[in-house]
Amino acid sequence: MKKNIAKAKIKKGIPSIGTWVSSGNPLVCETLASTGVDWINIECEHSSIDLGDLVHCFRAVEHTEIPVFVRVAGSDPLIIKRVVDSGALGVVVPDVKNAEEAKRAVDACRYPPVGTRGIGATRPNAIYPDYMKHANEEICVVIIIEDIEAVNKIDSIMEVPGVDVIFIGPNDLAATLGVPLGMDNQHPKHVAAVNKVLEAGKKHGIPTGIHCGTPEEIERRISQGFLWMPIASDVALMKSAFTTSIKKITDSSSMSEVISDGKFY
Residue 211 known to be catalytic: no
**Residue 250 included in any domain:** no
Strand ranges (E), the chain: 16-21, 39-43, 68-71, 90-93, 140-145, 165-168, 208-210, 228-233
Q: How many domains does the chain have?
A: 1
Over residues 46-66, the mean pLDDT reads: 95
**Residues 147/167, Cβ–Cβ less than 8 Å:** no
Q: How many CB atoms lie within 10 A of CB 188?
A: 9
Whether the predicted pLDDT of 258 surpasses 70 = no
Out of 46, 187, 204, 211, pick the active-site residue. 46
pLDDT category of residue 122 using cuts at 50, 70 and 90 = confident
For the stretch 135-186, pLDDT in tens is: 999 999 999 999 999 999 999 999 999 999 999 999 999 999 999 999 999 9
pTM of the model: 0.92
What's at 132, amino acid-wise?
A: M
Task: Find the domain containing 94 and state its range.
Answer: 5-240
**Residue 264 included in any domain:** no
Strand partners, 229: 17
* Cα gap 77→83, rounded to integer Å: 10
**Residues 2/35, Cβ–Cβ less than 8 Å:** no
Tell me what pLDDT residue 253 has.
Answer: 66
Whether the predicted pLDDT of 222 surpasses 60 = yes
**Residue 233 included in any domain:** yes
For the stretch 77-114, pLDDT in tens is: 999 999 999 999 999 999 999 999 999 999 999 999 99
**Residues 91/75, Cβ–Cβ less than 8 Å:** no
**Residue 204 included in any domain:** yes
Considering only CA atoms, which of 226, 67, 59, 63 is closest in space to residue 141? Answer: 67
**Residue 176 included in any domain:** yes
